[in-house]
C-alpha cells in the first residue's frame, strides 16, 4: 500500500483499489473550498491510475455535514458561485473517472455530503447512518445537492427530503434507491469490499466505457438513449475485452483480461 499526503484527506492505494478518506472529523468533514479542491485532485489522480475501484469514506462519526458554513458565509456572490462550481466539478469527476466509485457511509451524510453519496456509482451504509437535505427547514435550500439525489430517488421522495429537511435512516435510503445496501455497522467494510469486488470484475476498458455510456444516456428520452447506447455497444464489440469475453464463452474456458 502506498500513501499520498493531503491536509484534509487520507489517500492510499491498496492493490487495485484507491481509498479516499475524508479526514476532517473536528469539522464533521464539512466541505470547505480547500477540502473540495483536495477531493477533486485526489479523484483526478486516482482516475489516471490503473486501479479498478475507488472507495470514498470518512473518518470520525460523521460522513459529511455538507458545505462548511464558515467558508460559505465569508464569501460574496461570486465567491459562493466559485465554491458551488468547484463542488459541481467534483461530482462530475466522480462520475467521469473510469473506475467504479463506491461510497462507504457511516454516521450522517447531509446536504452536500448526501450529494457526494448520490454522485458515487454505488453506496453502502452502516445501519446507523442517516441522510438529509436539511435546507428545507433552514435558510439555504439544498438546490445543488438535490440534483443527483433526484436522479437516485425520484420526484416525490426528493420532494419529501428537500421540503421537510428531515433525515432518513439507512434502511429507508436503501428502499428509496439512494444507497445499494444498509448493513450492520460491524459489517460495513466487508460489505463495501464485497460489492466493489463484484462490480470491478471483468475487462477494465469495457467497464470504463460502460460506465461513461450509462451516465451519457441516463435521463434522456428513450430514443436518444438507444441511439447513444447502440453506437457505443457496436464499437465496443471490437475491443479486446469484448473479443476475449466472447471467445472464452464459445471456447468454454475462463477469460483472460489483458485490459
More confident residue, 1 or 17: 17
pLDDT, tens only, 107-149? 999 999 999 999 999 999 999 999 999 998 888 899 999 999 9
Instruction: Give the long-range contacts of residues 135-142, CB within 8 A, separation 24 or more.
Output: 135/111, 135/162, 135/165, 136/161, 136/162, 136/163, 136/164, 136/165, 137/164, 137/165, 137/166, 138/165, 140/72, 142/111, 142/114, 142/115
pLDDT, tens only, 37-79? 999 999 999 999 999 999 999 999 999 999 999 999 999 998 9
pTM given for the model: 0.91
Q: What is the pLDDT of residue 52?
A: 97
Cβ atoms within 10 Å, residue 250: 8
Query: Residues of the chain with pLDDT > 90: what percent?
Result: 81
Place of cell 461530482: 91
Assign 2 a pLDDT band (cuts: 50, 70, 90): very low
Assign 170 a pLDDT band (cuts: 50, 70, 90): very high
Alpha carbon 38 to its chain's center: 16
* pLDDT mean across residues, the chain: 93
Amino acid at each position: 500500500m502506498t500513501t499520498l499526503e493531503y491536509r484534509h484527506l487520507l489517500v492510499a492505494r491498496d492493490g487495485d483499489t484507491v481509498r479516499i478518506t475524508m479526514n476532517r472529523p473536528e469539522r464533521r468533514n464539512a466541505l470547505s473550498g480547500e477540502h473540495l479542491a483536495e477531493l477533486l485532485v485526489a479523484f483526478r489522480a486516482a482516475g489516471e491510475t490503473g486501479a479498478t475501484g475507488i472507495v470514498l469514506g470518512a473518518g470520525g462519526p460523521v460522513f459529511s455535514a455538507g458545505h462548511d458554513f464558515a467558508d460559505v458565509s465569508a464569501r460574496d456572490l461570486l465567491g459562493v458561485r466559485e465554491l458551488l462550481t468547484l463542488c459541481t466539478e467534483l461530482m462530475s469527476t466522480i462520475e467521469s473517472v473510469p473506475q467504479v466509485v463506491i461510497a462507504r457511509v457511516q454516521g450522517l451524510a447531509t446536504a452536500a455530503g448526501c450529494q457526494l453519496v448520490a454522485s458515487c456509482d454505488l453506496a453502502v451504509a452502516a445501519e446507523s447512518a442517516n441522510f438529509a437535505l436539511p435546507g428545507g427547514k433552514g435558510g439555504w435550500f439544498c438546490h445543488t445537492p438535490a440534483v443527483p439525489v433526484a436522479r437516485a430517488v425520484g420526484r416525490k421522495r426528493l420532494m419529501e427530503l428537500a421540503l421537510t429537511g428531515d433525515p432518513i435512516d439507512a434502511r429507508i435510503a436503501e428502499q428509496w434507491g439512494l444507497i445499494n445496501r444498509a448493513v450492520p455497522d460491524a459489517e460495513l467494510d466487508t460489505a463495501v469490499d464485497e460489492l466493489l469486488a463484484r462490480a470491478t470484475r471483468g475487462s477494465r476498458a469495457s467497464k470504463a466505457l460502460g460506465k461513461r455510456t450509462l451516465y451519457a444516456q441516463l435521463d434522456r428520452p428513450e430514443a436518444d438513449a438507444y441511439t447513444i447506447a447502440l453506437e457505443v455497444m457496436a464499437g465496443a464489440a471490437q475491443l479486446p475485452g469484448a473479443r476475449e469475453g466472447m471467445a472464452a464463452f464459445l471456447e468454454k474456458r475462463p477469460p483472460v483480461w489483458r485490459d
